[in-house]
């Protein structure tokens, strides 16, 4: 098989294409012929050597935590009926033409949903759904989302609108703001504007995937007694907010608790997308061999929605 290997921790240039032996599924596992691999911001952090306390990866390794494609073989103890089925899956070697994973980590892709759309929702969609379950929002409440044009934020905006919230989408640049408005945000704000916080005003809830100074600013926009939920540090800063003013806070550590009920959430967002109730946003696709360019684009915040690799 062909794969992308992170030879060491460092910049995107450490990613290189390698040839590796074809994979064989062990007992309880399946082999997937990868049609599309998802690229997460987390992949870029791990490549740089960040967050390895939570995700212990050591170079050389094949990045990628999600892939979609067709099951081509199964290991001992796995129902052979899986062979030939279209699935999306959590994996440990997604940047490759083949992936092996436990049968419990694969999810059938329903009719009406393609592999690329499923890949855009597998983690980002289910995480957005989980964030709203952890920090519920009432109809009519004002909610800030930043960054609102990313893979997760774009789904979160749509779920919040379906819940009847007034959504304030924060992003940078006319293209991203236009997308957020198209997805249903009531107000769009460019955080590069000097007066962006005054444009946001006061909100009941803030969902922050940026952290750092922008995260601190989002927290300051939350009313006394409101709610603040952090789910990422796109700024590169792990600095957290200091609780106060009676605000209920959820930190990035909440993400580690979402896996236990992930299957239900994944099935739900797949259903919502297959029936047209939410729209997965696919920003850019790159050939597998251009994984380094995909990482550069994410780190430069050049992409809308989900970024994908195509073997």
Alpha-carbon gap, residue 127 to 131, rounded angstroms: 6
SS3 track for 211-257: CHHHHHHHHHHEEEEEEEEECCCCCCCCCCCCCCCCCEEECHHHHHH
| Residues across the chain | 311
CATH class of 2-108+281-310: alpha beta
Q: What confidence score (pLDDT) does residue 62 get?
A: 97
- As beta bridge partners, residue 170 has 189
- pLDDT in tens for each of the 311 residues of the chain? 999 999 999 999 999 999 999 999 999 999 999 999 999 988 998 999 988 887 889 999 999 999 999 999 999 999 999 999 999 999 999 999 999 999 999 999 999 999 999 999 999 999 999 999 999 999 999 999 999 999 999 999 999 999 999 999 999 999 999 999 999 999 999 999 999 999 999 999 999 999 999 999 999 999 999 999 999 888 777 677 888 999 999 998 899 899 889 999 999 999 999 999 999 999 999 999 999 999 999 999 888 999 999 99
- Residue-wise burial string across 74-97, b where 16 or more C-beta atoms lie within 10 A, e elsewhere: bbeebeeebeeebbbbbbbbbbbb
Predicted TM-score of the model (pTM)? 0.91
In 3D, which of 218, 200, 201 has the Cα closest to residue 209? 218
Handedness of CA 268, 185, 128, 55 (dihedral sign): positive
DSSP symbol at 305: B
Q: What confidence score (pLDDT) does residue 53 get?
A: 80
Could you state, in order of their start, the residue ranges of all structural domains in the chain?
A: 2-108+281-310, 125-257
Q: What confidence score (pLDDT) does residue 238 get?
A: 65
Fold of 125-257: Rossmann fold (3.40.50)
The secondary structure of 4-41 as a DSSP string is EEE-SSSSGGGEEEEE-PPP---TTEEEEEEEEEEE-H
């Amino acid at each position: 098989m062909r794969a992308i290997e992170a030879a060491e921790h460092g910049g995107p240039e450490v990613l290189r294409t390698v040839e590796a032996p074809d994979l064989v599924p062990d007992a309880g596992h399946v082999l997937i012929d990868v049609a599309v691999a998802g690229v997460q911001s987390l992949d870029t952090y791990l490549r740089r050597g960040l967050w390895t306390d939570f995700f212990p990866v050591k170079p050389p390794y094949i990045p990628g935590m999600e892939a979609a494609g067709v099951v081509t073989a199964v290991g001992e103890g796995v129902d052979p009926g899986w062979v030939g089925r279209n699935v999306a899956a959590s994996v440990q070697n997604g940047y490759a033409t083949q992936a092996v994973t436990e049968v419990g980590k694969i999810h059938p892709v329903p009719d009406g949903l393609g592999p690329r759309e499923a890949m855009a929702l597998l983690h980002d969609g289910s995480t957005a759904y989980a964030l709203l379950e952890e920090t519920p929002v009432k109809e009519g409440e004002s909610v800030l989302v930043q960054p609102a044009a990313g893979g997760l934020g774009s789904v979160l905006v749509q779920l919040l609108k379906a819940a009847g919230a007034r959504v304030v989408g924060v992003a940078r640049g006319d293209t991203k703001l236009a997308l957020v408005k198209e997805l249903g945000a009531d107000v769009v704000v460019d955080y590069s504007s000097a007066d962006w916080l005054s444009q946001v005003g006061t909100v009941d809830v803030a969902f922050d995937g940026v952290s750092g100074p922008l995260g601190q600013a989002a927290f300051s926009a939350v009313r006394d007694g409101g709610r603040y939920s952090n789910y990422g540090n796109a700024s590169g800063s792990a600095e957290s907010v200091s609780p106060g003013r009676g605000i209920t806070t959820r930190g990035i550590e909440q993400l580690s608790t979402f896996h236990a009920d992930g299957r239900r959430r994944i099935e739900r967002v797949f259903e919502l997308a297959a029936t047209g109730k939410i729209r997965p946003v696919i920003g850019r696709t790159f050939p597998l061999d251009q994984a380094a360019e995909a990482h550069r684009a994410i780190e430069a915040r050049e992409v809308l929605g989900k970024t994908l690799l195509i073997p």
